[in-house]
């Protein structure tokens, strides 16, 4: 009788731990490029930032783009790719971005596939979203 109560108690504790731990798990976050989520944005660069980013799993280049709908974080590429090709962006520049929407830090962001500035076109990913810097 005592053994069965002990087994029952152990099972109950294990079940409670399983429920508590299971309920705290967050949904996995995917930063994969999704061509079905592609959008076209136009706006003015407000900020240019470099920071470690889970989208590229590296130090990434990011633009805060002011659009008519509000500000949008644009994940451009790994920072060293921009430097290697002498690409740079500055606040105040008007650009257009073709890319895929993704949730990032609770808000909407865009992973850039290509950026157009005037007559210049910068391509960062192929049509499927594969980064061009991985081909180098």
Element (H, E) at 19: helix 2-24
What is the per-residue pLDDT for 5? 62
Element (H, E) at 79: helix 79-84
Ranges assigned E (strand) in 1-136 = 38-53, 58-67, 70-78, 94-104, 107-117, 120-123
User: pLDDT per residue over 72-104, tens digit each?
Assistant: 999 999 999 999 999 999 999 999 999 999 887
Q: How confident is the model at residue 108 (pLDDT cuts 50, 70, 90)?
A: confident
How far is residue 74's CA from residue 72's CA, in Å, rounded to a whole number?
Answer: 6
For 60, the token pair is 């990434």
Element (H, E) at 84: helix 79-84
Average pLDDT over residues 115-134: 93
């Amino acid at each position: 009788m005592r053994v069965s109560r002990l087994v029952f108690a152990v099972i109950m504790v294990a079940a409670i731990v399983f429920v508590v731990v299971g309920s705290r798990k967050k949904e996995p976050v995917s930063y994969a490029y999704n061509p079905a989520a592609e959008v076209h944005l136009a706006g003015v660069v407000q900020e240019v930032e470099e920071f470690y980013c889970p989208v590229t799993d590296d130090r990434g280049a990011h633009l805060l783009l002011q659009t008519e709908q509000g500000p949008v974080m644009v994940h451009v590429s790994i920072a060293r790719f921009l430097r290697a090709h002498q690409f740079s962006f500055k606040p105040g520049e008007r650009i257009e971005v073709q890319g895929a929407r993704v949730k990032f830090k609770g808000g909407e962001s865009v992973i850039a596939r290509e950026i157009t500035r005037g007559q210049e076109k910068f391509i960062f990913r192929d049509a499927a979203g594969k980064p061009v810097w991985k081909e180098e």
